Structure 1
Amino acid sequence: MYIQFYTEELSAEAALRELLPRILGSEIDFDIHVFQGKTDLLDKLPMRLHALANWMPNDWRIVVVVDRDDDDCLLLKQHLNQIAADAGLTLRNTSVTSQPFQVINRIAVEELEAWFFGDIPALRAAYPRLSDSLGERRQYRDPDAITGGTWEALERELQRMGYHKGGLQKIVLARDVARYMIPERNRSRSFQTFYSALKEIICIE
């Protein structure tokens, strides 16, 4: 089996390259295609999926990962699903037994950094000066509900402890934290939805 991942930014690619081998194991091959931001992904995805639909092997899957940002999560998901349906590809939630799903769309709420807040032990393994009670603070108890910008909040906490003083280096952060992440313990609901989808692909394989 082979999986193509589509993501909007290099930091997501950095995190996935650390995480995916541990989740998928050695029997499933994958590649990651990075677009130049969310708008670029949404603009180019229809053409990319249309091209794939004409020859995509039965044992291929496509996983699209985008940040919610300020979008309505339901509307964004519907838009992504419509792009796949218009290309003639089968979605996970509409597939039938005789025709396995080909596309899974997943949204990081509100941003990739929420997935890092979901695993405080991984954050502290990468940045030991962070408080071990960080996840107990009211504003961080629900990683998917952090207000005022998730990456901005993480930047503030890291800079307070002397890290990333020149500004948050998102790719470095993603690589550093994802290296220590354990999917099963992540408190982000959007991460667990993403993780569950990958486990389902593994079971199909």
Structure 2
Amino acid sequence: PSMEAFLAEMLPRLLAGRATYTIHAHQGKSDLLKKLGDRLRAYAKWLPESSRIVVVIDRDNSDCFALKEKMEQLAKEANLLTRKTSANGNWRVVNRLAIEELEAWFFGEWKAVCTSFPKVSSTIPAQAPYRNPDAVTGGTWEALERVLGNAGYFPGGLRKLELAVAIGKHFDPMSATSPSFLTFRDALVESVS
């Protein structure tokens, strides 16, 4: 749900009217993976050839390569060409991972965090633990909760949905630095080019 809320805020700016889209949220990674094969097979039967399917999931503690391969295999079983396997750019599905999770993307666009939560230090990205947003250790949402909590926000615990909406409103996809966000962004831009 927090990814859905974030995308609902950020995608209109990134896509700038170049495409229509629908976001389908799931109840976490296990729910998405359980339903993905059936959903892709259904899409293969009725979506127009010009449609693109972008699947994004938190890596959490999963092995990147194994998780991505599972997603690729589900698309293959649905007879949908993926961006990874397409030689000519005629793909229908692209699979992307948020590494480690959505909150890493927020560490990679710190200006949006500071705009949403003005008491947060603007120097966080310069600190060693946060320089590479996709390599924040100890859980990115927990790290973000600590940073925001130290600035006086979310004293009762991080409210991920509220956070995603607030940051999504200010998130500049062209200024982001999270490598996993950049691969996600670039695939979306390619899909509407």
Using structure 2 for the length normalisation, give the TM-score.
Answer: 0.97
1:136 to 126, 143, 153: 126
Matched, 1:81 2:72: yes
Q: How does 1:53-132 map to 2 (within 5 A)?
A: 53-97=44-88, 100-132=90-122
RCO comparison, higher one (Cα < 8 Å, 6+): 2
Question: Which residue does 2:141 correspond to in 1?
Answer: 151
Moved segments of 4+, more than 2 Å: none
Q: CA deviation at 1:182?
A: 1.0
Question: Which residue does 2:9 correspond to in 1?
Answer: 18
CA distance in 1: counterparts of 2:135 and 2:104, whole angstroms: 8
CA distance in 1: counterparts of 2:120 and 2:76, whole angstroms: 44
Question: Which residue does 1:165 correspond to in 2?
Answer: 155
What is the DSSP-based 3-state SS (H/G/I as helix, E as strand, rest coil) of the residue aligned with 2:155? coil
Residue type matched to 2:108 in 1?
A: G
Q: CA deviation at 1:96?
A: 4.1
Identity of aligned residues (%): 48
Deviations 1:108-150 (A, max 9, x none): 0001000000011110000010111111110000000011110
Deviations 1:67-110 (A, max 9, x none): 0000111111111000000110010122244x821000000000
CA distance in 1: counterparts of 2:11 and 2:122, whole angstroms: 26
What is the DSSP-based 3-state SS (H/G/I as helix, E as strand, rest coil) of the residue aligned with 1:32? coil
Question: Which residue does 2:38 correspond to in 1?
Answer: 47
Residue type matched to 1:63 in 2?
A: V
Does structure 1 conserve the Cα–Cα contact (< 8 Å) formed by 2:112 and 2:170?
A: yes
**Where does structure 2 lack aligned partners over 5 or more consecutive residues?**
none
Aligned pair count reads 193
**Where does structure 1 lack aligned partners over 5 or more consecutive residues?**
1-9
CA distance in 2: counterparts of 1:150 and 1:192, whole angstroms: 17
CA distance in 2: counterparts of 1:148 and 1:103, whole angstroms: 31
CA distance in 1: counterparts of 2:131 and 2:18, whole angstroms: 36
CA distance in 1: counterparts of 2:180 and 2:23, whole angstroms: 19
CA distance in 2: counterparts of 1:50 and 1:198, whole angstroms: 21
Q: How does 1:155-194 map to 2 (within 5 A)?
A: 155-194=145-184
CA distance in 2: counterparts of 1:153 and 1:125, whole angstroms: 18
Higher strand share: 1
What is the DSSP-based 3-state SS (H/G/I as helix, E as strand, rest coil) of the residue aligned with 1:26? coil
RMSD: 1.0
Moved more, 22-31 or 109-118: 22-31
CA distance in 2: counterparts of 1:202 and 1:56, whole angstroms: 16
